[in-house]
Structure 1
Amino acid sequence: MTLDKRLGQRFLPYGANYLAWSDMAELKEVIDHQVLFRYQTETESMASRLERQVSGRLGAAHALAVHNCTEALRLALISTRPSIGDPVYIPAVTFVAVAGAVLSCGLIPVLVDADDSLSLDRTLLPSDARRVVVAHMEGAVAALPEGVPYLIEDCAQSLGARFADGRSVGTAGYAGTFSFHHNKVLTSGEGGLVVTDDDEAWSTMRRYHDHGSARVPGHYPTWNQDAHYGENFVTSEQVAAVQCQQFRHLDELLAGLERMYTVAMTELPNRPDLEVRPRTKGDVKVSLRLCWESRELRDAAVAALTAEGIANWTLGKYLLPEHPVLTGRRSLYADGFPWNHAPEGPLALSRDGFARTRDLLDRTLCVPLSPELPEPEQVLAAKAVRRVLEAV
């Protein structure tokens, strides 16, 4: 029997392990109310309750719940009122959804190489950059550039993380976006949030996310006389209910991650060919990030951990300079939109053609931590990881 079966672990152990029928008071409330559309009720909707709780927890003036984080990114970008073909500087190391959100808004992604922490290297940005997306990857708090009017924080993998000054990630720039996908810190299967302190941005996003009108709860459908076109990104009451349940466990989950991270760090083998990539106090400790001396050692560690049933993953999938959407300028439009509005030449900022970043990713391995386990089982899990790594 493999380790994950013996300890009751799942491959993606975060918020999903806190889901329980006995803890679904909000979902029961929604079902008993028999209204699953947020604007159909005159009382406070579950989605509005979620947004109020999120705003209070994160310290943001406004929050808006949507179907997923990609929609949240799109809303943040659209609310800046861009022109077709405007550049958006995005990390070279992040999920392709960031590039997809930029392109679907008719904008052009410009890849910015990573620094040693694998976050966007802000020193490479031009002084006139207006739209920049910074991703807080793997729970790690990224350094933010200064002087960017539309700085969007992609916090899909870092809900609960904080900057050194105590602010929550997602609240330091123009807008912040969050994900409730299954493998994120908290989950409702899918789901997203966008937060902002900008009143005008929030008003624009709220209208756009529901066909261009600001709905009056209990009076659906009504239209504003100044309505513009929009799309349907409105979340449902049952999804918001699951997210409310998940938020009640956020502090417990974060504490469990901190506890297991401390345990795991004391159990890691002392090998000259293995470096643990550092985490700061404010990071969400979703995983150990291990950097090996060579890709061959990394691959051997992957094989050994997998054979023992210990969850792990690599980060090569996040290297956007090698993604076909970017390399081939792929589009479903006959005229190649929006790439037909892009300038000629490479849309990338890197000192070495991403060679250093590619090498870092080739040697990096992540082992997720399990916050839901009691401390004795966390110790057992950490010792099992150590035994495997010592034998590589």
Structure 2
Amino acid sequence: MTLDKRLGLRFLPYGANYLDWPDMHELRAAIEHGVLFRYQTETESVASRLERRVGERLGAGHVLAVHNCTEALRLALVSTRPRVGDVVHIPAVTFVAVAGAVLSSGLIPVLVDVDDSLSMDTSLIPEGAQRAIVAHMEGTVAPLPDGVPYVIEDSAQALGATFPDGRHTGTRGYAGTFSFHHNKVLTSGEGGLLVTNDPAAWETMRCYHDHGSARVPGRYPTWNEDAYYGENLVTSEAVAAIQYQQFRHLDEVLSGLERHHAIAMDDLPERSGLDLLPRAAGDVKISLRFRCESRELRDAAVTALTERSIANWTLNKYLLPDHPVVAGRRSLYADGFPWNLAPDKTLALSRDGFARTRDLLDRTLCVPLSPELSEAEQALAVKSVRQALEAA
């Protein structure tokens, strides 16, 4: 593959570039075993091995593998034993799956405006709030609100990120969720992880995720005497095996991103009206985030990069106040559930109706970094980005 091709609009970002058949030892073993349901085998499942490895790597007391991060969010919410119609404070800038997880749990999302880094402005959360989901967007470590008993960290885009105290994102709140979707740090196409340090919460989560009972490996199905209804959120051995292979390369991916980011910081574009947003030491450097002086300059930069086949994206699609699900209170239920449970509740917390946030998003541009490239290739990639942006 030529360098130009590797630096172009790649559809296999980050961990996908480390998928390799000779490295798929766990997947081969699972297939040769002939059992792809984790609770059907009397030996230790690949999913259990994955959970143990993740717990050790992230410093999490308990880990549960599920189908995707949206399910992990719902599972975390349900484990707090809410009442239908309870509110959950979520950032106004994040993927719609966060709002969807809240709504599909029978709860009401309250949008909280963001700060200049596009992280939730925790100063807007009212006293007495019970539940909040904080999204660590674009690998940026977001602050957690104080005084909220159930803080769920959405670390879908921040696997490997750390707080200043050294703890990993996802491990400081009540629970943390991670995604292995195709364009995340690591990938299994789909796949999610849920972590918590609360033993009681863990027991609730692992029961609810498999029809309300804690399974005994090799003796499926068995039922707890105190079983309650749940769902089938159990991952498969095949997906867990790919995640395990990916986890083997996490440090390699993170160090490659750090190196590419450092090279970019030493060769910034000389272009007025274009600033590179700073990254904290613990952030996962999945992209360069530029703040332009105007929407027109942002659009010109997008055009210049795209014409040179350099991958880039904008963030306007993450503004939840403008999403049909939220703006139109969309629901498949005939009575509008669960929106109908909160007709008079304030569903947004912003000082200016999100005007400042819209302006920030209109002027923000992201360019991905490539951990799999050699140092020399990364330097060439940075040069290409610089030349494109200086020509915009």
TM range, normalised to the smaller chain? Answer: over 0.9
Q: Could you say if the C-alpha distance between residues 9 and 301 of structure 1 is closer, same or farther in structure 2, counting changes exceeding 3 Å?
A: closer
- Bigger drift between 309-318 and 343-352 goes to 343-352
Aligned to 1:111: 111
Q: Is the 8 A contact 2:276 2:290 kept in 1?
A: yes
Tell me the SS of whatever aligns to 2:110: strand
User: Counterparts of 1:153-192 in structure 2 under 5 Å?
Assistant: 153-192=153-192
Paired amino acid for 1:289: R
Matched, 1:283 2:283: yes
Tell me the SS of whatever aligns to 2:157: coil
Task: Return the alpha-carbon distance in structure 2 between the equivalents of residues 316 and 9 of structure 1.
Answer: 20
Shift of 1:10: 2.0
Task: Return the alpha-carbon distance in structure 1 between the equivalents of residues 281 and 6 of structure 2.
Answer: 31
Q: Could you say if the C-alpha distance between residues 273 and 3 of structure 1 is closer, same or farther in structure 2, counting changes exceeding 3 Å?
A: farther
- Bigger drift between 66-75 and 25-34 goes to 25-34
Task: Return the alpha-carbon distance in structure 2 between the equivalents of residues 291 and 153 of structure 1.
Answer: 26
Matched, 1:211 2:211: yes
Q: Is the 8 A contact 2:271 2:389 kept in 1?
A: no
Shift of 1:9: 7.1
Q: Is the 8 A contact 1:108 1:338 kept in 2?
A: yes
Which blocks of at least 5 consecutive residues in structure 1 are unaligned?
none
Tell me the SS of whatever aligns to 2:253: helix
1:199-238 per-position Cα deviation (integer Å, ceiling 9, x unaligned):
1111111011101111000000111111100110000001
Paired amino acid for 2:236: S
Q: Is the 8 A contact 1:63 1:195 kept in 2?
A: yes
1:30-81 per-position Cα deviation (integer Å, ceiling 9, x unaligned):
1111110000011110000000001111111100000000000000000000
Task: Return the alpha-carbon distance in structure 2 between the equivalents of residues 7 and 27 of structure 1.
Answer: 30
Paired amino acid for 1:254: L
Matched, 1:381 2:386: no
Task: Return the alpha-carbon distance in structure 2 between the equivalents of residues 347 and 75 of structure 1.
Answer: 22
Shift of 1:111: 0.1
Paired amino acid for 2:376: P
- Bigger drift between 8-17 and 80-89 goes to 8-17
User: Counterparts of 1:1-392 in structure 2 under 5 Å?
Assistant: 4-5=4-5, 7=7, 10-344=10-344, 346-392=346-392
Task: Return the alpha-carbon distance in structure 1 between the equivalents of residues 12 and 163 of structure 2.
Answer: 25
Task: Return the alpha-carbon distance in structure 2 between the equivalents of residues 122 and 79 of structure 1.
Answer: 23
Task: Return the alpha-carbon distance in structure 2 between the equivalents of residues 78 and 387 of structure 1.
Answer: 50
Q: Is the 8 A contact 2:9 2:310 kept in 1?
A: no
Shift of 1:315: 0.1
Q: Is the 8 A contact 2:8 2:311 kept in 1?
A: no
Tell me the SS of whatever aligns to 1:358: helix
Task: Return the alpha-carbon distance in structure 1 between the equivalents of residues 57 and 335 of structure 2.
Answer: 45
Could you list the structure 1 runs, at least 4 aligned residues long, displaced by more than 6 angstroms after superposition: none
Shift of 1:133: 0.4
- Bigger drift between 10-19 and 199-208 goes to 10-19
Tell me the SS of whatever aligns to 1:267: coil
Task: Return the alpha-carbon distance in structure 2 between the equivalents of residues 86 and 175 of structure 1.
Answer: 18
Task: Return the alpha-carbon distance in structure 2 between the equivalents of residues 221 and 261 of structure 1.
Answer: 49
Paired amino acid for 1:119: S
Task: Return the alpha-carbon distance in structure 2 between the equivalents of residues 33 and 248 of structure 1.
Answer: 22
Identity %: 76
Paired amino acid for 1:195: V
Paired amino acid for 2:282: G
Q: When the two structures are superposed, what TM-score results if normalisation uses the length of structure 2?
A: 0.98
Paired amino acid for 1:170: G
Q: Is the 8 A contact 2:208 2:230 kept in 1?
A: yes
Task: Return the alpha-carbon distance in structure 1 between the equivalents of residues 2 and 302 of structure 2.
Answer: 15
Q: Is the 8 A contact 1:213 1:228 kept in 2?
A: yes
Task: Return the alpha-carbon distance in structure 1 between the equivalents of residues 133 and 11 of structure 2.
Answer: 29
Q: Could you say if the C-alpha distance between residues 241 and 22 of structure 1 is closer, same or farther in structure 2, counting changes exceeding 3 Å?
A: same
Tell me the SS of whatever aligns to 1:38: coil
Task: Return the alpha-carbon distance in structure 2 between the equivalents of residues 105 and 124 of structure 1.
Answer: 24
What is the count of residue pairs matched by the alignment? 392
- Bigger drift between 92-101 and 1-10 goes to 1-10
The root-mean-square deviation of aligned C-alpha atoms, in Å, is 1.3
Tell me the SS of whatever aligns to 1:148: coil
Task: Return the alpha-carbon distance in structure 2 between the equivalents of residues 62 and 246 of structure 1.
Answer: 20
Tell me the SS of whatever aligns to 2:39: helix
Task: Return the alpha-carbon distance in structure 2 between the equivalents of residues 195 and 262 of structure 1.
Answer: 31
Q: Is the 8 A contact 1:3 1:309 kept in 2?
A: no
Task: Return the alpha-carbon distance in structure 1 between the equivalents of residues 382 and 275 of structure 2.
Answer: 16
Paired amino acid for 1:97: A
Tell me the SS of whatever aligns to 2:377: helix
Paired amino acid for 1:154: D
Task: Return the alpha-carbon distance in structure 1 between the equivalents of residues 101 and 7 of structure 2.
Answer: 39
Task: Return the alpha-carbon distance in structure 1 between the equivalents of residues 334 and 343 of structure 2.
Answer: 18
Q: Is the 8 A contact 1:186 1:243 kept in 2?
A: yes
Tell me the SS of whatever aligns to 1:40: coil
Paired amino acid for 2:248: R
Tell me the SS of whatever aligns to 2:366: strand
